[in-house]
Structure 1
Amino acid sequence: MQHDSAEITKQAKSNLAFALQILPKERREGMVSFYAFCRVVDDLADDPDRPINEREASLLAWKVGLENGFPNPDPLQAEVVALIERHSIPVHLLTAIIDGCLMDLRPQRFGTWEDLSQYTYKVACAVGLASLKVFGAQDPASERYAVELGHALQLTNILRDVGEDLANGVRIYLPLADLGRFQYSERDLIGRVYDGRFVAMMNYQAERAASFYAEAVAAMPKSDAKALVPAEIMRSIYQTLLEKMKRDGFKVFDRRYSLSKARKMAIFSKHFLRLGPTV
């Protein structure tokens, strides 16, 4: 299968693709390649038209190719290998992302936040840590920022996608111990029971996400502030989204929350102005 990284990113219309517009050309092109890799492996895991064994084989082929070299790389694979070399990205971060996608092949349950955090590390924190290299972040403290932000972003995604994940193979990412804390059962969730218990449980998750956002802000080194502007745009968009869901009582069973283009542009502009005249 042939993949054009620029086309993949353009079609995605994601918040990340939006945030990348602020980067200098070479770094933006690097992130387009990296984003296309993330999109392709994620889509491989979620493709309902292909048998699970086939999807697993394709993901493992990516993993083996990254670790040992691709025998006949397609254009995207060649791009990703060049990207890793150009920005000295540790290969284990990309294979961690693939491991996260492999976990999605067979929907599972997470008993506690500690269990879930191992998944969020693979599918989000590893993405952030690899992105630091392409952004040109230099301070080791930025790694703490990337990890805290990764957990926050993925948890926000999980809260937004509760209804969609149930519809897609009855996937449940919310920690079962947290459901139990509010006497709200797995059966209640599958039955889409919307009541005070559900809202309280979702608010509990939102507080956890908010504390990760706060930890990320506290960890961000001033020396990398400019390099991390795309990540800060992502943080602002997702934090605003989290607040929007919270204000609305997390009606995630019957709607998908998003921000308007105008709201995103306002966030983008605010961070762009902070860059000053040097960009």
Structure 2
Amino acid sequence: MHSRQTEADFYFCKQIIRSRSKSFYYAFSKLPFEKANAVYAIYAFCRIADDCADGNHSQLRKQQLLKQLKRELDLFEKQNEIDKPLWRALRQVFDDYDMEIQPFFDQLTGQAMDADFTMPQTMHELEQYSYYVAGSVGLMLLPVIASKNAADLRAAAIDLGTAMQLTNILRDVGEDFHQKQRIYLPQDELDYFHYAQQELQSGAVTKQFISLWEKLAVRAEHLYDSFLHNISQFDPDSRIPVSLSVQVYRGILDAVRNNGYDCLSKRNYVSKDRMKEISTTISSYS
């Protein structure tokens, strides 16, 4: 039985995911209560790490914040964590599930790559980055949602995280460029499809841009399909929420398509009505 303090700690984490990712919250809130709390705590760690690297801070401050978070994670690994809601909640998660600490350190490596951003030159570099910032999250979640087969599903979890990160990139091309001065589209793909950074700056949705965008989208969809091929190996009580998270997130790609591929000046998302449709469809096949 959790104490009131523990309940408050998980509520703190829940509020982070509820306010920062409606699609993830919609899907994972359908997990059993204890598992949902574990996901909220994991998400909160990743969001706090992301805020260190992407917040409105100077370059020096970003590095300082990430180093501080790593020091706190080092203490957590030694079971000497500081007295904060995040770490108390994560301690409960590590007590309840067969967790590994390395993916949490990998997540910080990925955020450090963002804080000291270098444009990827190849798809390989982009997917390597995607592992650190998102594939690592898949590995964090495995002990919670695939308690009996976690070791066999590592590749699938990395596929899912990579697909979701590619989706984020394809959704946020304009936002990343104009607000963060970052281009995640690989340089060699820009060259291959003859799409110049000047066109990106002007918001030109050309045939070349659409072809480039679709190449990455098809790769993401392949990874989603690869992941879903393994869904029967996840815990029975987690299959529907996990499938829902996949289908809602991949729905972002269709949202961009339906908006004429304008991810340069518009924010694309899956509507609440569409999320409900996906949920009903998945539940009917369960």
Following superposition, the deviation at residue 136 of structure 1 comes to 4.0
Pick the aligned partner of 1:10 from 11, 15, 18. Answer: 18
Change (3 A) 1:168 1:223: closer
Checking the alignment, whether the CA contact within 8 Å between 1:27 and 1:135 is kept in structure 2 is yes
Checking the alignment, whether the CA contact within 8 Å between 1:142 and 1:220 is kept in structure 2 is no
Q: Percent same amino acid among aligned pairs?
A: 27
TM-score under structure 2 length normalisation: 0.87
Checking the alignment, whether the CA contact within 8 Å between 2:217 and 2:253 is kept in structure 1 is yes
Following superposition, the deviation at residue 13 of structure 1 comes to 4.3
The answer for unaligned runs of 5 or more in structure 2 is 1-8
Q: What per-residue deviation string (whole Å, max 9, x for no partner) do you get for residues 149-194 of structure 1?
A: 1111111110000010011221111111111111112333233332
Pick the aligned partner of 2:109 from 56, 80, 99. Answer: 99
CA RMSD of aligned residues (A): 2.2
Q: What per-residue deviation string (whole Å, max 9, x for no partner) do you get for residues 103-157 of structure 1?
A: 1113320000100111110111110111111224322333222111111111111
2:198 and 2:277 mapped to 1: Cα distance? 41
Following superposition, the deviation at residue 274 of structure 1 comes to 4.9
Residue type of the alignment partner of 2:208: R
Q: Give the count of matched residue pairs.
A: 273
Pick the aligned partner of 2:129 from 119, 122, 126. Answer: 119
Following superposition, the deviation at residue 72 of structure 1 comes to 3.2
Pick the aligned partner of 1:37 from 36, 41, 45. Answer: 45
Pick the aligned partner of 2:224 from 213, 218, 222. Answer: 213
1:192 and 1:223 mapped to 2: Cα distance? 42
1:85 aligns with 2:91: no
- The 5-angstrom pairing of residues 1-279 of structure 1 reads 4-48=12-56, 50-69=57-76, 70=80, 72-139=82-149, 140-222=151-233, 224=235, 226-274=237-285
Checking the alignment, whether the CA contact within 8 Å between 2:146 and 2:233 is kept in structure 1 is no
Following superposition, the deviation at residue 4 of structure 1 comes to 2.3
TM-score under structure 1 length normalisation: 0.89
Change (3 A) 1:202 1:274: same
Give the match's secondary structure for 2:25. helix
Give the match's secondary structure for 1:168. helix
